Amino acid sequence: MKVLLIDIDDNRANKIDPIVSWAGMELLNLNNHRADGPAGNHSADIYTHVKNVHPEIILVDTDSPSRDVLEDLAQQNRTAPKTVITLDKSQSESINRLAADVGISLYAIDAVPHRLLQALIDVTISHFHSIDRLRSEVQELKPAIEERQFLNQAIAFIMDTYGLSEHQANDLLTKNADRQQRDIGALAKQLVETGSFV
């Protein structure tokens, strides 16, 4: 089974790739075949590519003008992938979330089971959110990680300079921070960068 991406940027394509591979499907990206040039050339590329490759599923950027080409193709050829608006005869909330949260519209041929489409949508949305959440959490942790690195470097500096144990070096750093009424992380950074407590 083939999944074709159209006008999906590399960031989103890289998130979709492992999902499609995990499901045992082949991922094709029309962007890789796209040359800079008139919009008409890109439209012709889509017609040619879809007819030659016969993808069962197409994922396209919701703002892409290529969606008009796909709609036209679906009207011309009854076996071409069509816009998926509903699953199991009901409005699918997950399809709306795929468009709103991820910015992707789904096209599929009639033969693709709705259960497969639903699973693909759910896993894609979950994967996108988990990656974004992980990036956000890492971003929030960066200051704490940086502070820990400065603390470790400052303690190593004190140990080497004054011939103290790790416990003694940590105690000296803490006492200096308390005496100066400063954050220990800021003092550690200063010590590493200047070699001085003051």
Does 161 share its domain with 86? Answer: no
What CA–CA distance (Å, rounded) separates 186 from 170?
A: 14
Q: Do 103 and 21 share a domain, yes or no?
A: yes
Assess whether 147 and 92 both reside in one domain: no
* Shared-domain flag, residues 64 and 105: yes
Q: Are residues 145 and 96 in the same domain?
A: no
Q: What is the mean pLDDT of the chain?
A: 80
Domain assignment present for residue 38? The answer is yes
pLDDT value, residue 85: 57
123, 137, 139, 136: which is closest to 15 by C-alpha? 123
91 and 175 share one domain = no
- How confident is the model at residue 15, as a pLDDT? 84
Do residues 121 and 84 touch, judged by C-beta distance below 8 A? no
Per-residue pLDDT band at 138 (split at 50, 70, 90)? confident
pLDDT at 90 over 60: no
On the question of pLDDT at 25 being above 70, the answer is yes
Same domain, 106 and 156: no
* Alpha carbon distance 97, 94 (integer Å): 5
Read off the CATH number of the domain in which 18 is found: 3.40.50
pLDDT at 89: 52
Instruction: Output the pLDDT for position 103.
Output: 80
Q: What is the CATH number of the domain that holds 164?
A: 1.10.10.10
Q: How far is CA 36 from CA 48, 108, 162, in A?
A: 17, 27, 63
Domain shared by 31 and 105, yes or no = yes
What is the extent of the structural domain holding 29? 2-112
Report the pLDDT value the prediction gives residue 38, as an integer from 0 to 100. Answer: 45
Q: State residue 87's pLDDT score.
A: 61
Please determine, for residue 32, whether its predicted confidence score (pLDDT) is greater than 70: no
- Positive or negative, the CA dihedral 161, 162, 167, 170 is negative
**HEC-encoded secondary structure of 89-118:** CEECHHHHHHHHHHCEEEEECCCCCHHHHH
pLDDT in tens, 165-180: 999 999 999 999 999 9
Is 40 domain-assigned?
Answer: yes
Number of domains in the chain: 2
Q: Are residues 108 and 147 in the same domain?
A: no
Q: Which of 10-24, 28-42, 64-78, 129-143 has the largest mean confidence?
A: 10-24
How far is Cα 44 from Cα 66, in angstroms, rounded to an integer?
Answer: 10
